[in-house]
Amino acid sequence: MTLLQLAWSYLRARPLPALLNVLLLALGVGTIGFVLIMDKQIGTNMNRDARGIDLVVGAKGSAMQLILAGIFHLDAPTGNISLQAAQELSRNPLIRRGIPLSLGDSFRGFRIVGTNADYIDLYGGQFAAGHGGKKPMEAVLGSTVAATTGLVLGGQFIGSHGLVEGGPAHADSVYTVVGVLKRTDTVLDRLVVVDTESVWLVHEGIIVDADERKVLEAERQITVLLVQYATPLAAVSLPRTINDETNMQAASPAYESARLFRMIGVGADVIKAFGAVVLVTAALSLFIALYHALSERAYDIAVLRTLGARPSSIALTLLLEAMILAVLGSALGLVLAHVMVAAMAAAIAEQDSLRLNALQFSWRELWLVLPALLAAFLAALLPTWRAARTDISSTLARRG
Protein backbone atom coordinates (compact mmCIF):
# COMPACT_ATOMS: atom_id res chain seq x y z
CA MET A 1 0.00 0.00 0.00
CA THR A 2 1.78 3.10 -1.21
CA LEU A 3 0.80 6.73 -1.53
CA LEU A 4 0.72 6.16 -5.28
CA GLN A 5 -1.91 3.44 -4.81
CA LEU A 6 -3.86 5.73 -2.51
CA ALA A 7 -3.75 8.53 -5.08
CA TRP A 8 -4.79 6.09 -7.81
CA SER A 9 -7.70 4.84 -5.71
CA TYR A 10 -9.06 8.37 -5.48
CA LEU A 11 -8.80 8.84 -9.23
CA ARG A 12 -10.55 5.54 -9.85
CA ALA A 13 -13.31 6.48 -7.45
CA ARG A 14 -14.17 9.49 -9.61
CA PRO A 15 -13.27 8.46 -13.15
CA LEU A 16 -15.21 11.09 -15.10
CA PRO A 17 -13.51 14.23 -13.76
CA ALA A 18 -10.20 12.38 -14.00
CA LEU A 19 -10.92 11.49 -17.61
CA LEU A 20 -11.88 15.07 -18.42
CA ASN A 21 -8.59 16.34 -17.03
CA VAL A 22 -6.60 13.69 -18.85
CA LEU A 23 -8.34 14.59 -22.11
CA LEU A 24 -7.72 18.31 -21.65
CA LEU A 25 -4.05 17.70 -20.91
CA ALA A 26 -3.85 15.31 -23.86
CA LEU A 27 -5.39 17.87 -26.19
CA GLY A 28 -2.90 20.52 -25.09
CA VAL A 29 0.11 18.23 -25.34
CA GLY A 30 -1.21 16.70 -28.56
CA THR A 31 -1.66 20.04 -30.28
CA ILE A 32 1.80 21.26 -29.36
CA GLY A 33 3.27 17.87 -30.22
CA PHE A 34 1.54 17.88 -33.59
CA VAL A 35 3.09 21.22 -34.51
CA LEU A 36 6.54 20.17 -33.33
CA ILE A 37 6.42 16.89 -35.26
CA MET A 38 5.21 18.61 -38.43
CA ASP A 39 7.85 21.31 -38.02
CA LYS A 40 10.56 18.73 -37.55
CA GLN A 41 9.53 16.49 -40.42
CA ILE A 42 8.93 19.29 -42.91
CA GLY A 43 12.22 20.89 -41.93
CA THR A 44 14.12 17.62 -42.22
CA ASN A 45 12.56 16.85 -45.59
CA MET A 46 13.26 20.30 -46.97
CA ASN A 47 16.87 20.15 -45.83
CA ARG A 48 17.30 16.72 -47.35
CA ASP A 49 15.81 17.78 -50.67
CA ALA A 50 17.89 20.93 -50.88
CA ARG A 51 21.12 19.31 -49.73
CA GLY A 52 24.00 19.89 -52.11
CA ILE A 53 22.19 22.54 -54.12
CA ASP A 54 23.63 26.00 -53.64
CA LEU A 55 21.70 27.86 -56.30
CA VAL A 56 18.76 27.27 -58.61
CA VAL A 57 18.87 29.07 -61.94
CA GLY A 58 15.70 29.39 -64.00
CA ALA A 59 13.47 31.82 -65.81
CA LYS A 60 12.75 35.14 -64.18
CA GLY A 61 9.79 35.29 -61.86
CA SER A 62 9.19 34.48 -58.22
CA ALA A 63 12.30 33.19 -56.48
CA MET A 64 10.18 31.15 -54.12
CA GLN A 65 8.33 29.59 -57.02
CA LEU A 66 11.61 28.69 -58.69
CA ILE A 67 12.76 26.89 -55.56
CA LEU A 68 9.43 25.15 -55.03
CA ALA A 69 9.38 23.93 -58.61
CA GLY A 70 13.08 23.25 -59.09
CA ILE A 71 13.91 21.52 -55.83
CA PHE A 72 10.75 20.38 -54.09
CA HIS A 73 8.76 19.77 -57.27
CA LEU A 74 5.71 21.40 -55.75
CA ASP A 75 4.88 24.47 -57.81
CA ALA A 76 4.79 25.04 -61.55
CA PRO A 77 8.10 26.30 -62.98
CA THR A 78 8.56 29.99 -63.77
CA GLY A 79 9.31 29.18 -67.39
CA ASN A 80 12.21 27.85 -69.38
CA ILE A 81 15.75 29.04 -70.04
CA SER A 82 17.83 28.45 -73.11
CA LEU A 83 20.04 25.38 -73.05
CA GLN A 84 22.84 27.38 -74.55
CA ALA A 85 22.79 29.96 -71.77
CA ALA A 86 22.70 27.24 -69.17
CA GLN A 87 25.62 25.44 -70.71
CA GLU A 88 27.57 28.65 -70.89
CA LEU A 89 26.88 29.33 -67.25
CA SER A 90 27.96 25.82 -66.28
CA ARG A 91 31.41 26.57 -67.63
CA ASN A 92 31.82 29.43 -65.15
CA PRO A 93 34.81 28.53 -62.91
CA LEU A 94 32.80 29.42 -59.81
CA ILE A 95 30.50 26.51 -60.60
CA ARG A 96 31.60 22.97 -59.80
CA ARG A 97 28.61 21.26 -61.28
CA GLY A 98 25.37 22.26 -62.97
CA ILE A 99 22.55 19.75 -63.22
CA PRO A 100 19.94 20.58 -65.85
CA LEU A 101 16.30 19.74 -65.20
CA SER A 102 13.57 19.73 -67.81
CA LEU A 103 10.09 19.69 -66.40
CA GLY A 104 6.66 19.78 -67.94
CA ASP A 105 5.43 16.22 -68.32
CA SER A 106 4.10 13.80 -65.79
CA PHE A 107 2.98 10.23 -65.39
CA ARG A 108 -0.08 9.62 -63.19
CA GLY A 109 0.68 12.80 -61.28
CA PHE A 110 4.38 12.00 -60.80
CA ARG A 111 6.70 14.45 -62.50
CA ILE A 112 8.91 13.29 -65.30
CA VAL A 113 12.29 14.98 -64.91
CA GLY A 114 14.61 15.18 -67.86
CA THR A 115 18.14 15.36 -66.48
CA ASN A 116 21.40 13.44 -66.34
CA ALA A 117 22.88 10.83 -64.00
CA ASP A 118 24.18 13.55 -61.67
CA TYR A 119 20.65 14.18 -60.43
CA ILE A 120 20.29 10.65 -59.03
CA ASP A 121 23.80 10.91 -57.52
CA LEU A 122 22.85 14.18 -55.85
CA TYR A 123 20.35 12.34 -53.65
CA GLY A 124 22.53 9.26 -53.26
CA GLY A 125 20.02 7.21 -55.24
CA GLN A 126 20.79 3.50 -55.47
CA PHE A 127 19.19 1.03 -57.79
CA ALA A 128 16.85 -1.54 -56.31
CA ALA A 129 16.64 -3.05 -59.75
CA GLY A 130 18.00 -2.31 -63.22
CA HIS A 131 20.30 0.56 -64.06
CA GLY A 132 20.30 4.19 -65.09
CA GLY A 133 18.93 5.13 -68.49
CA LYS A 134 21.52 5.11 -71.22
CA LYS A 135 19.34 5.88 -74.19
CA PRO A 136 16.49 8.27 -74.76
CA MET A 137 13.05 7.04 -73.71
CA GLU A 138 14.52 4.94 -70.91
CA ALA A 139 13.08 5.81 -67.52
CA VAL A 140 14.19 5.31 -63.91
CA LEU A 141 11.42 5.29 -61.32
CA GLY A 142 11.62 6.64 -57.78
CA SER A 143 10.58 4.14 -55.13
CA THR A 144 7.20 5.77 -54.45
CA VAL A 145 6.42 5.97 -58.15
CA ALA A 146 7.22 2.28 -58.59
CA ALA A 147 5.20 1.28 -55.56
CA THR A 148 2.18 3.41 -56.50
CA THR A 149 2.01 2.67 -60.20
CA GLY A 150 3.05 -0.96 -59.93
CA LEU A 151 5.42 -0.56 -62.88
CA VAL A 152 8.38 -2.94 -62.95
CA LEU A 153 11.49 -3.30 -65.07
CA GLY A 154 10.60 -3.50 -68.74
CA GLY A 155 7.23 -1.88 -68.12
CA GLN A 156 6.14 0.79 -70.54
CA PHE A 157 4.19 3.97 -70.03
CA ILE A 158 3.20 7.15 -71.79
CA GLY A 159 3.85 10.55 -70.27
CA SER A 160 1.16 13.19 -70.31
CA HIS A 161 1.67 16.87 -70.89
CA GLY A 162 1.44 19.05 -67.82
CA LEU A 163 2.43 18.49 -64.24
CA VAL A 164 -0.93 17.30 -62.95
CA GLU A 165 -2.80 14.16 -63.80
CA GLY A 166 -5.11 14.19 -66.82
CA GLY A 167 -3.16 16.27 -69.31
CA PRO A 168 -3.10 15.27 -73.00
CA ALA A 169 -1.00 12.17 -73.58
CA HIS A 170 2.07 12.06 -75.75
CA ALA A 171 0.64 8.95 -77.30
CA ASP A 172 3.43 8.29 -79.77
CA SER A 173 6.23 8.47 -77.18
CA VAL A 174 6.54 5.40 -75.02
CA TYR A 175 8.95 5.23 -72.09
CA THR A 176 10.44 1.94 -70.96
CA VAL A 177 11.38 1.34 -67.32
CA VAL A 178 15.04 0.33 -67.08
CA GLY A 179 15.66 1.08 -63.42
CA VAL A 180 13.88 1.33 -60.08
CA LEU A 181 15.50 3.26 -57.24
CA LYS A 182 15.69 2.35 -53.59
CA ARG A 183 13.94 4.62 -51.16
CA THR A 184 15.95 7.77 -50.40
CA ASP A 185 13.39 9.68 -48.28
CA THR A 186 13.91 12.61 -50.60
CA VAL A 187 11.90 14.14 -53.39
CA LEU A 188 13.60 11.67 -55.73
CA ASP A 189 11.23 8.95 -54.51
CA ARG A 190 8.34 10.71 -56.21
CA LEU A 191 10.02 11.39 -59.56
CA VAL A 192 10.40 9.66 -62.89
CA VAL A 193 13.94 10.35 -64.07
CA VAL A 194 14.67 10.28 -67.80
CA ASP A 195 17.45 11.55 -69.99
CA THR A 196 17.08 15.18 -71.05
CA GLU A 197 17.18 14.00 -74.67
CA SER A 198 13.95 12.11 -74.09
CA VAL A 199 12.03 15.26 -73.26
CA TRP A 200 13.22 16.96 -76.41
CA LEU A 201 12.42 13.85 -78.41
CA VAL A 202 8.90 13.71 -77.04
CA HIS A 203 8.23 17.33 -77.87
CA GLU A 204 10.13 17.68 -81.15
CA GLY A 205 9.32 14.33 -82.64
CA ILE A 206 11.84 12.60 -84.87
CA ILE A 207 13.26 15.14 -87.26
CA VAL A 208 14.87 13.86 -90.40
CA ASP A 209 15.70 17.14 -92.09
CA ALA A 210 19.19 18.25 -91.02
CA ASP A 211 18.54 22.00 -91.29
CA GLU A 212 15.33 21.87 -89.35
CA ARG A 213 17.08 19.77 -86.78
CA LYS A 214 19.82 22.37 -86.42
CA VAL A 215 17.29 25.16 -85.88
CA LEU A 216 15.41 23.17 -83.28
CA GLU A 217 18.59 22.21 -81.45
CA ALA A 218 19.63 25.84 -81.25
CA GLU A 219 16.29 26.66 -79.67
CA ARG A 220 16.43 23.89 -77.12
CA GLN A 221 15.51 24.80 -73.58
CA ILE A 222 15.69 23.40 -70.08
CA THR A 223 13.62 24.44 -67.08
CA VAL A 224 16.18 24.96 -64.34
CA LEU A 225 19.83 24.45 -63.66
CA LEU A 226 20.75 23.18 -60.19
CA VAL A 227 24.12 24.65 -59.30
CA GLN A 228 26.82 23.51 -56.92
CA TYR A 229 29.44 26.12 -56.17
CA ALA A 230 33.09 25.38 -56.68
CA THR A 231 33.90 27.72 -53.82
CA PRO A 232 31.86 29.36 -51.07
CA LEU A 233 33.00 32.70 -52.49
CA ALA A 234 30.66 32.09 -55.41
CA ALA A 235 27.74 33.01 -53.18
CA VAL A 236 29.01 36.58 -53.07
CA SER A 237 29.01 37.37 -56.75
CA LEU A 238 27.41 34.64 -58.79
CA PRO A 239 23.72 35.19 -57.92
CA ARG A 240 24.01 38.89 -58.57
CA THR A 241 25.84 38.36 -61.84
CA ILE A 242 23.13 36.01 -63.06
CA ASN A 243 20.27 38.21 -61.93
CA ASP A 244 21.75 41.43 -63.30
CA GLU A 245 23.47 40.34 -66.46
CA THR A 246 21.32 37.56 -67.88
CA ASN A 247 17.64 37.09 -68.51
CA MET A 248 17.80 34.23 -66.02
CA GLN A 249 17.07 34.25 -62.32
CA ALA A 250 19.16 32.74 -59.54
CA ALA A 251 17.53 31.79 -56.25
CA SER A 252 19.17 30.47 -53.09
CA PRO A 253 17.41 27.40 -51.64
CA ALA A 254 18.71 28.16 -48.15
CA TYR A 255 17.33 31.69 -48.19
CA GLU A 256 14.00 30.84 -49.79
CA SER A 257 13.49 27.79 -47.53
CA ALA A 258 14.12 29.95 -44.49
CA ARG A 259 11.63 32.49 -45.81
CA LEU A 260 9.06 29.78 -46.45
CA PHE A 261 9.62 28.40 -42.97
CA ARG A 262 9.08 31.80 -41.44
CA MET A 263 5.74 32.03 -43.22
CA ILE A 264 4.68 28.54 -42.12
CA GLY A 265 6.08 29.38 -38.69
CA VAL A 266 3.41 32.02 -38.05
CA GLY A 267 0.71 29.39 -38.52
CA ALA A 268 2.65 26.95 -36.38
CA ASP A 269 2.97 29.55 -33.63
CA VAL A 270 -0.78 30.14 -33.67
CA ILE A 271 -1.48 26.42 -33.27
CA LYS A 272 1.17 26.14 -30.56
CA ALA A 273 -0.40 29.07 -28.71
CA PHE A 274 -3.75 27.30 -28.96
CA GLY A 275 -2.14 24.22 -27.42
CA ALA A 276 -0.75 26.34 -24.61
CA VAL A 277 -4.19 27.85 -23.97
CA VAL A 278 -5.65 24.35 -23.77
CA LEU A 279 -2.91 23.39 -21.32
CA VAL A 280 -3.71 26.39 -19.15
CA THR A 281 -7.38 25.39 -19.27
CA ALA A 282 -6.36 21.87 -18.25
CA ALA A 283 -4.38 23.24 -15.34
CA LEU A 284 -7.35 25.32 -14.27
CA SER A 285 -9.71 22.37 -14.51
CA LEU A 286 -7.28 20.24 -12.56
CA PHE A 287 -6.97 22.95 -9.94
CA ILE A 288 -10.75 23.09 -9.52
CA ALA A 289 -10.97 19.29 -9.31
CA LEU A 290 -8.25 19.12 -6.66
CA TYR A 291 -9.68 22.00 -4.72
CA HIS A 292 -13.08 20.35 -4.79
CA ALA A 293 -11.53 17.07 -3.69
CA LEU A 294 -10.04 18.90 -0.76
CA SER A 295 -13.37 19.83 0.80
CA GLU A 296 -14.90 16.52 -0.19
CA ARG A 297 -12.06 14.62 1.43
CA ALA A 298 -11.39 16.75 4.48
CA TYR A 299 -12.52 13.94 6.75
CA ASP A 300 -10.44 11.34 4.88
CA ILE A 301 -7.44 13.58 5.29
CA ALA A 302 -8.12 13.89 9.01
CA VAL A 303 -8.45 10.10 9.31
CA LEU A 304 -5.13 9.60 7.52
CA ARG A 305 -3.55 12.02 9.97
CA THR A 306 -4.97 10.05 12.93
CA LEU A 307 -3.25 7.03 11.40
CA GLY A 308 0.05 8.88 11.64
CA ALA A 309 0.27 10.52 8.20
CA ARG A 310 2.43 13.61 8.09
CA PRO A 311 1.12 16.72 6.38
CA SER A 312 3.74 16.14 3.69
CA SER A 313 2.31 12.68 2.97
CA ILE A 314 -1.14 14.20 2.53
CA ALA A 315 0.25 16.85 0.20
CA LEU A 316 2.23 14.25 -1.71
CA THR A 317 -0.87 12.11 -2.24
CA LEU A 318 -2.71 15.02 -3.81
CA LEU A 319 0.34 15.96 -5.86
CA LEU A 320 0.67 12.36 -7.07
CA GLU A 321 -2.92 12.44 -8.27
CA ALA A 322 -2.14 15.49 -10.36
CA MET A 323 1.07 13.90 -11.65
CA ILE A 324 -0.67 10.65 -12.59
CA LEU A 325 -3.15 12.68 -14.63
CA ALA A 326 -0.29 14.63 -16.20
CA VAL A 327 1.60 11.49 -17.21
CA LEU A 328 -1.54 9.83 -18.59
CA GLY A 329 -2.48 13.06 -20.33
CA SER A 330 0.95 13.44 -21.94
CA ALA A 331 1.05 9.82 -23.06
CA LEU A 332 -2.38 10.15 -24.63
CA GLY A 333 -1.33 13.53 -26.02
CA LEU A 334 1.70 12.07 -27.78
CA VAL A 335 -0.50 9.37 -29.31
CA LEU A 336 -2.94 12.10 -30.32
CA ALA A 337 -0.14 14.13 -31.93
CA HIS A 338 0.85 11.18 -34.10
CA VAL A 339 -2.78 10.46 -34.97
CA MET A 340 -3.12 14.10 -36.06
CA VAL A 341 0.04 13.79 -38.18
CA ALA A 342 -1.40 10.61 -39.71
CA ALA A 343 -4.67 12.42 -40.43
CA MET A 344 -2.76 15.30 -41.97
CA ALA A 345 -0.68 12.89 -44.04
CA ALA A 346 -3.88 11.24 -45.28
CA ALA A 347 -5.48 14.59 -46.04
CA ILE A 348 -2.59 15.84 -48.17
CA ALA A 349 -1.67 12.48 -49.69
CA GLU A 350 -3.75 13.42 -52.73
CA GLN A 351 -1.65 16.48 -53.40
CA ASP A 352 1.48 14.42 -52.94
CA SER A 353 3.24 17.50 -51.68
CA LEU A 354 4.60 16.77 -48.21
CA ARG A 355 6.01 13.52 -47.00
CA LEU A 356 4.87 12.88 -43.43
CA ASN A 357 5.55 9.81 -41.38
CA ALA A 358 3.17 9.50 -38.45
CA LEU A 359 5.03 6.47 -37.16
CA GLN A 360 8.32 8.28 -36.82
CA PHE A 361 8.94 8.70 -33.11
CA SER A 362 11.66 10.60 -31.38
CA TRP A 363 12.82 10.39 -27.79
CA ARG A 364 12.81 14.16 -27.79
CA GLU A 365 9.01 14.07 -27.85
CA LEU A 366 9.17 12.94 -24.23
CA TRP A 367 10.11 16.53 -23.37
CA LEU A 368 6.46 17.30 -24.03
CA VAL A 369 5.67 15.59 -20.74
CA LEU A 370 7.29 18.58 -19.05
CA PRO A 371 4.66 21.24 -19.83
CA ALA A 372 1.93 18.82 -18.71
CA LEU A 373 3.79 18.03 -15.50
CA LEU A 374 4.37 21.72 -14.93
CA ALA A 375 0.69 22.51 -15.50
CA ALA A 376 -0.31 19.74 -13.07
CA PHE A 377 2.26 20.86 -10.54
CA LEU A 378 1.07 24.46 -10.60
CA ALA A 379 -2.54 23.32 -10.37
CA ALA A 380 -1.73 21.16 -7.35
CA LEU A 381 0.33 23.76 -5.51
CA LEU A 382 -2.40 25.57 -3.61
CA PRO A 383 -4.61 22.52 -2.96
CA THR A 384 -1.68 20.51 -1.59
CA TRP A 385 -0.65 23.37 0.62
CA ARG A 386 -4.20 23.65 1.95
CA ALA A 387 -4.42 19.88 2.39
CA ALA A 388 -1.25 19.82 4.41
CA ARG A 389 -2.69 22.47 6.71
CA THR A 390 -6.05 20.78 7.31
CA ASP A 391 -6.99 21.18 10.98
CA ILE A 392 -7.54 17.57 11.96
CA SER A 393 -9.11 18.08 15.34
CA SER A 394 -11.81 20.49 14.22
CA THR A 395 -12.50 18.44 11.07
CA LEU A 396 -13.03 15.33 13.17
CA ALA A 397 -15.09 17.24 15.75
CA ARG A 398 -17.37 18.69 13.11
CA ARG A 399 -18.61 15.25 12.09
CA GLY A 400 -17.72 13.27 15.15
Partner 1 sequence: MIGIEHLRFAYAGGADVLQIDAFVVALGERVLVTGPSGCGKTTLLHLLAGLLLPSAGQVIVNGQDLAQLSPAARDRFRGRTVGIVLQQFHLLPTLTVLQNLLIAQRMAGLPIDRKAAGAMLKTLGVADRLDASPHQLSVGQQQRVAIARALINRPRVLLADEPTSNLDDEACAIVTDLLLQTSSDHGACLLIATHDSRLKSRITRQLALPRTAVEAVA
Q: Which DSSP helix (H) or strand (E) runs through 192?
A: strand 191-195
39: left (phi over 0), alpha (psi -120 to 50) or beta: alpha
Quick check: 10 binds partner 1 (CB under 8 A)? yes
Quick check: 307 binds partner 1 (CB under 8 A)? yes
The contacts of residue 13 (CB under 8 Å, 6+ apart) are none
Angle made by CA atoms 363, 369, 371, in degrees to the nearest 5: 130
For residue 177, what are the β-bridge partners?
Answer: 139
Q: Which stretch binds partner 1 (CB under 8 A): 17-25, 57-65, 178-186, 389-397?
A: 389-397
Which residue, 22 or 302, is less far from partner 1 as judged by CB?
A: 302
Site for partner 1 (CB under 8 A): which residue of 42, 129, 254, 303? 303
What number of CA atoms fall less than 13 Å from residue 359's CA on the CB side? 1
Which residue, 13 or 208, is less far from partner 1 as judged by CB?
A: 13
At 161 the three-state DSSP class reads strand
Quick check: 313 binds partner 1 (CB under 8 A)? yes
Site for partner 1 (CB under 8 A): which residue of 2, 211, 232, 244? 2
Quick check: 5 binds partner 1 (CB under 8 A)? yes
Quick check: 322 binds partner 1 (CB under 8 A)? no
Quick check: 15 binds partner 1 (CB under 8 A)? no
Quick check: 299 binds partner 1 (CB under 8 A)? yes
Angle made by CA atoms 317, 322, 327, in degrees to the nearest 5: 120
Site for partner 1 (CB under 8 A): which residue of 71, 151, 309, 328? 309
Rounded to a whole number of angstroms, the minimum distance from the CB of residue 381 to partner 1 is 21
Q: Which stretch binds partner 1 (CB under 8 A): 84-92, 170-178, 279-287, 388-396?
A: 388-396
160-177 per-residue burial string, b: 16 or more CB within 10 A, e: under 16: beebeeeeeebeebebeb
Cβ–Cβ under 8 Å, residues 69 and 75: yes
Quick check: 311 binds partner 1 (CB under 8 A)? yes
Which residue, 115 or 390, is less far from partner 1 as judged by CB?
A: 390
Beta strand 169-181 pairing with 138-141 = parallel
Quick check: 91 binds partner 1 (CB under 8 A)? no
Which residue, 9 or 126, is less far from partner 1 as judged by CB?
A: 9
Quick check: 396 binds partner 1 (CB under 8 A)? yes
Quick check: 9 binds partner 1 (CB under 8 A)? yes
Quick check: 387 binds partner 1 (CB under 8 A)? no
DSSP string, 203-269: HH-----HHHHHHHHHT-EESEEEEEESSTTHHHHHHHHHHHHSSEEEE-HHHHHHHHHHHHHHHHH
Cβ–Cβ under 8 Å, residues 139 and 192: yes
Rounded to a whole number of angstroms, the minimum distance from the CB of residue 257 to partner 1 is 56
Quick check: 36 binds partner 1 (CB under 8 A)? no
For residue 105, what are the β-bridge partners?
Answer: 112, 161
Enumerate binding residues for partner 1 (CB under 8 A). 1-3, 5-6, 9-10, 12-13, 299-300, 303-311, 313, 392-393, 396-397, 399-400
